[in-house]
Amino acid sequence: MPQVDDFYKKLEKASASYKSARIIESGEGAYLTIDGNEVLNLCSSHYLGLAVNPRLVKAAADASQKYGIGTGYRTLAGNHKLHLELEDSLATFKNAEASIVLTGGYMANCAAIQTIVGKEDIVISDELNHASIIDAIRLSQVKNKLIYEHKNLSSLEEKLKEADNLRKTPNSDGEKPLILVVTDGVFSMDGDLAPLPQIVQLAKKYDVLTMVDDAHGEGVLGEGGRGVVDHFKLHGQIDIEVGTLSKAFSVIGGFITGKKLLIDYYKQKARQYLFSNALTISDTAALIEAVRILSESDELVKKLWENAKYLKVEFKNAGFDTGHSETPITPVMIGDEDKAREFSRMLFEEGVFATPIVFPMVAKGKARVRVIPSASHSRQDLNKGISAFVKIGKQLKLI
What order do you get walking across the sheet with 352-353 strand by strand? 31-34, 37-41, 352-353
Residue 250 known to be catalytic: no
Domain positions in the chain:
16-45+298-395, 55-296
Which one of 247, 303, 366, 377 is the catalytic residue? 247
Mean of the per-residue pLDDT values of the chain: 96
pLDDT tens, residue by residue, 45-59: 999 999 999 999 999
Residue 216 known to be catalytic: yes
Which one of 44, 132, 188, 325 is the catalytic residue? 188
Please check the confidence at residue 244 and state whether its pLDDT lies above 90.
yes
Please check the confidence at residue 18 and state whether its pLDDT lies above 80.
no
**pLDDT score, position 48:** 98
pLDDT tens, residue by residue, 72-93: 999 999 999 999 999 999 999 9
pLDDT tens, residue by residue, 207-242: 999 999 999 999 999 999 999 999 999 999 999 999
Please check the confidence at residue 359 and state whether its pLDDT lies above 80.
yes
Q: Which CATH class is domain 55-296?
A: alpha beta
Q: What is the mean pLDDT of residues 135-162?
A: 97
**pLDDT score, position 380:** 98
Domain 16-45+298-395 matches domain 55-296 at the CATH topology level = no
Q: What is the mean pLDDT of residues 190-206?
A: 97
Residue 150 known to be catalytic: no
**pLDDT score, position 41:** 97
Q: Which CATH class is domain 16-45+298-395?
A: alpha beta
Confidence of residue 307 (pLDDT cuts 50, 70, 90): very high
The pTM score is 0.94
Q: For the chain, give the percent of residues with pLDDT over 90.
A: 93
Which one of 216, 231, 366, 377 is the catalytic residue? 216
**pLDDT score, position 1:** 57
Q: What is the mean pLDDT of residues 374-379?
A: 97
**pLDDT score, position 14:** 82
**pLDDT score, position 156:** 98
